Amino acid sequence: MLQKHPLFAGFGPSEFESLEKCLVRRQYPGGQVLFHMDDEGNSLHLIERGRVKVTIPSDSGEELILAILGAGDFLGELSLLDGKPRSATVQALEKTETLCLHRKDLLALMRNRFDLVEKILEVLARRIRDTDMLLAERNFLDITSRLAKKILDLGDIFGIREEGRIRIGVKITQKDLASMIGATRESINKQLKALRDQGLVRISGGTIEILNRERLVRKARIFPKP
């Protein structure tokens, strides 16, 4: 998996050999927290398998989900770069395995590989753009549009195409959806029923299927990417 990770594309055999000596494999059952917001940040996590959610508390104390990450993603880079505490809490949604790289080892790699620096900066820039978009959506889109867009986003990331439908390959609760778009569980329940009755989605056992992506896009009022 390490040789296929986009972060290390272009590394040679000797570099991978040195890198593997620095990595520590960690396993987390579903529900376990990898680290809490404000914890000391001294390692980068490369997700090898499983999925995690990245959360921060809202002003009212509710959980806000910033992202769901899976195999091939990495997390914890902010604290490694600036030496400050963790900016969010990360919790495993299912059995998850990560490869951990200590801060001193990552910084040593970055001194010798500017392409690694570029790749980390690209991911940081994308995540900042995603956060900007999230803030814009919460200010300017109604709940129906925010929910439709979030379902589309999840379909793009975790979707499995099946006979003209897109099944989201990770179970998402109504509470999770509410945390992702800044809404109440009750409003999510109401809007999901409306989308189902309109023939746009199907919901079964915590799994969401997109039945009509084109109509769901119109419902989402998709913003152009900044």
Report pLDDT digits (tens) over 11-34: 888 888 888 889 999 999 999 999
Q: What is the CATH number of the domain that holds 183?
A: 1.10.10.10
pLDDT digits (tens, 9 = 90+) for 126-162: 888 888 888 888 888 899 999 999 999 999 989 999 8
**Residue 108 shares a structural domain with residue 9:** yes
Residues 206-210: contacts with CB under 8 Å, at least 24 apart: 206/171, 206/172, 206/173, 207/167, 207/168, 207/171, 208/151, 208/154, 208/167, 208/168, 208/172, 209/162, 209/165, 209/166, 209/167, 209/168, 210/151, 210/152, 210/155, 210/159, 210/165, 210/166, 210/167, 210/168
Indicate the pTM of the whole model.
Answer: 0.78
- Please state, in angstroms and rounded to a whole number, the distance separating the CA atoms of residues 1 and 194: 42
In a domain, 36, yes or no: yes
**Pair 134, 183 in one domain:** no
CB 13, CB 63: distance < 8 Å: no
- What CATH number corresponds to the domain at position 117? 2.60.120.10
Give the total number of structural domains in the chain.
Answer: 2
Do 10 and 79 share a domain, yes or no? yes
Q: Are residues 34 and 114 in the same domain?
A: yes
pLDDT value for 60: 74
Give yes or no for residue 222 having a pLDDT over 70: no
- Would you say residue 187 has pLDDT above 70? yes
DSSP string, 164-184: TEEEESS---HHHHHHHHT--
Question: What is the domain extent for residue 186?
Answer: 141-220
Residue where one domain finishes, among candidates 103, 119, 138: 138
84 and 192 share one domain: no
Q: Could you give the count of Cα atoms lying within 13 Å of 60 in the half-sphere of its Cβ?
A: 7
Q: Residues 45-73: pLDDT tens digits?
A: 999 999 999 999 877 778 889 889 998 89
127 and 62 within one domain: yes
- 133 part of a folded domain: yes
Same-domain status, 131 and 190: no
Split at pLDDT 50, 70, 90, the class of 213 is very high
The one-letter code for the residue type at 206 is: G
Inside any domain, residue 211: yes
Query: Residue 226 domain-assigned?
Result: no
Mean pLDDT rounded to a whole number for the chain = 89
The answer to whether position 73 is within a domain reads yes
Number of Cβ within a 10 Å radius of residue 111:
10
User: Quick one: 119 and 60 in the same domain?
Assistant: yes
* C-alpha span between 39 and 218 (Å, rounded): 41
User: Are 166 and 95 members of one domain?
Assistant: no
Task: Using the predicted structure, report yes or no on whether residue 224 has a pLDDT greater than 70.
Answer: no
Q: Can you tell me which residue has the tokens 């746009």?
A: 200
Note whether 124 and 84 are same-domain residues.
yes
* pLDDT reading at 36 higher than 70: yes
- Same domain (yes/no): 145, 114: no
Roughly how many angstroms between the first and final C-alpha of the chain, as a whole number?
A: 32
Q: Which amino acid is located at 68 in the chain?
A: I
User: Domain for residue 153, yes or no?
Assistant: yes
In a domain, 56, yes or no: yes
> Which domain-ending residue is among 87, 110, 138?
138
Residues sharing a CB contact under 8 Å with residue 206, sequence separation 6 or more, in sequence order: 171, 172, 173
Are the C-beta atoms of residues 219 and 147 closer than 8 Å to each other? no
What is the distance, to the nearest Å, from the Cα of residue 109 to the centroid of all Cα atoms in its chain?
A: 25
- Does one domain contain both 71 and 38? yes
For residue 41, which phi and psi values (nearest 5 degrees)?
-110, 110
The answer on pLDDT for 226 being more than 60 is: no
Asked if residue 225 is part of any domain, the answer here is: no
Identify the domain boundary among 138, 157, 184: 138
Sign of the CA dihedral 16, 22, 27, 28? Answer: negative
Using the predicted structure, report yes or no on whether residue 82 has a pLDDT greater than 90: no
